[in-house]
Amino acid sequence: MIARYRAGAPPSVSVSVRDTASRASLSVFVRKRPLLDEELRRGGFDVVSTCGEEETARASLVAHEPKVTVDLSRAMENHTYKFDGVYGESATNQQVFDSAVRPMVEHLFASRGHGTCFAYGQTGSGKTMTMEGLGSGEGDNSAGIYSLVADDLFRNVRGAGGGLTVRAGFFEIYRGKCFDLLNKKRSVQVMEDEHGAQHVVGLHQSTLASAEELLLLLSTSDRTTRATAQNTHSSRSHAVLQIEVVEPASESVRCKLSLVDLAGSEWAAKAQSDDRQNRLDGAEINKSLLCLKECIRALGSQSSHVPFRGSKLTQLLKDSFVGENSRTVMIATISPCSVCCEHSLNTLRYAERVKDWQ
């Protein structure tokens, strides 16, 4: 049925990005990863089609949900979503960076703004692969968004004649508390100053000389993980890499980027779990992901109240969301596997709700 659908649909595309995406204050992109060997071995099949519609210049994606009808025959329900950009399984981190993240970095550097790029999706859908990359070798995905952003910032700093410092801090938010991942997981506090700027007090920040130094630094970090059926290194914390470009004489921040690898979104559903650890993790993740969505929607609808204080994550990201020069990029990652279809649909609905006010 899926093959028949694809035969009659516009050709599948690897990268399809609307030309307005680079100028929007919030842009939402979806990345489909390839089917993994393990999924194929277990009889899984690809239920996600990515399509570029040139005539509307909109990137769309179709999730084919397998169904069984009342007479027990097989059926398929097609769910179509449109986003600022869609990446197919052969898209590389470099392509994702070039079309989704680079415009934000350039804008923030030129306008002295603050911005956030976050990866949202189910465990094992490719968030860490997108943000961190594979980390070794020369492959297409060896560098992730972290190092590609750092590379671009250093290029901008050189272009501006130097004299600026780049520094980075890396921490996680786990059960509503922040822990410094570059300083033995010491507890750190998020505080707001009288100008509304958010500070992570006690966070170790390293001054960097190159993007390679950032990768070295990150390789020494230790993020909270616990084994799950889908992914033995499943992330239950939100990991935040903050990179700042600073004017050394005045110590003023010229631009700031928060790059967030969110905890697996399926944990949100485990708030009702029988296991106490799972329940506590699930409840906290649920709260922060809901609050993130509510804050973005409140900002988009110009509501007088934005519930930043509803979670540590949104409190922390507040200064990247407010201000005329702020930018937000969401990269939702999905697995194409038939077994994960329900989780992928949840991710696609979340991504659509984040953006549907525009």
Ligand X SMILES: Nc1ncnc2c1ncn2[C@@H]1O[C@H](COP(=O)(O)OP(=O)(O)OP(=O)(O)O)[C@@H](O)[C@H]1O
Binding residues for ATP are: 121-128
- Residue 347, interface with ligand X (CB under 6 A)? no
- Residue 237, interface with ligand X (CB under 6 A)? no
Q: Kindly tell me which of 123 and 242 has the beta carbon lying closer to ligand X.
A: 123
Please give the Cα distance from 152 to 133 (Å, whole number): 16
What is the b/e burial string over 321-354, where b = at least 16 CB atoms within 10 angstroms of the residue's CB? bebeebbbbbbbbbbbbbbbbebbbbbbebbbeb
Tokens matching residue 222: 């230790």
Q: Kindly tell me which of 245 and 292 has the beta carbon lying closer to ligand X.
A: 292
Query: How many other C-beta atoms lie within 10 A of the C-beta of residue 215?
Result: 19
Query: How many other C-beta atoms lie within 10 A of the C-beta of residue 45?
Result: 14
- Residue 121, interface with ligand X (CB under 6 A)? yes
Minimum distance from CB of 223 to ligand X (Å)?
A: 9
> 180 has which bridge partners?
171, 186
The continuous run of DSSP H or E covering 355 comes out as helix 341-355
Q: Kindly tell me which of 166 and 313 has the beta carbon lying closer to ligand X.
A: 313
- Residue 126, interface with ligand X (CB under 6 A)? yes
Q: Which range touches ligand X (CB under 6 A), out of 20-28, 29-37, 105-113, 187-195?
A: 29-37
Per-residue string for binding with ligand X, 266-295, x by CB under 6 A? ------------------------------
Within positions 196 to 235, which residues make up the interface with ligand X, using CB under 6 A?
231, 234-235
Q: Which range touches ligand X (CB under 6 A), out of 78-86, 122-130, 170-178, 213-221?
A: 122-130
Write 295-300 long-range contacts (CB < 8 A, 24+).
Answer: 295/321, 296/26, 296/321, 296/328, 296/354, 297/353, 297/354, 297/357, 299/26, 300/26, 300/357, 300/358
Per-residue string for binding with ligand X, 326-345, x by CB under 6 A? -------x------------
Query: Which residues sit at the interface with ligand X, rule CB under 6 A?
Result: 33-34, 36, 121, 123-129, 141, 231, 234-235, 264, 333
